[in-house]
Structure 1
């Protein structure tokens, strides 16, 4: 997998993890924005995949959720590993 494709997928999974954590805590975007010290618009754009989040934004959001950035990335990487391990190699695909 090309580096840029991998990084885009990993960022998408980081956003997915953050969104799921927010929803699991029952936090609104407005409340999370306030807790994280970011704008509600930034969260809306990030969660709707209209804008890639900066590293600083993802760290602030993780902290606003009461978790560490490293745990979010670890969870995203684990999801990535599961997804890539389920896909057959190009030579194994039936035609």
Structure 2
């Protein structure tokens, strides 16, 4: 049985939207982490719901993926 997310559902949706974009672009968590200066485990822990993201980390991931962060927030919270 899956454990419930520790995140607000909208926050979790932001993380999943970023993961979807990373996978759509064919970028590994390792490559993205190196590109934006984060540990790979930060990305994998966020994506597997084992960590709570900070605004700064979400913005850094979005920038690294070339995603418009305000549009992403609008999609997650809309």
* TM-align CA RMSD: 1.2
Measured after TM superposition, the shift of residue 68 of structure 1 is 2.3
1:46 aligns with 2:26: no
Larger Rg: 1
Which 4+ stretches in 1 moved above 2 angstroms? none
Q: Normalized against structure 1, the TM-score is what?
A: 0.71
- Equivalent pairs, count: 72
Quick one: distance in 2 between partners of 1:65 and 1:10? 20
Q: Is the 8 A contact 1:59 1:68 kept in 2?
A: no
Match of 1:81 in 2: none
Unaligned runs of 5+ in 1: 1-6, 79-95
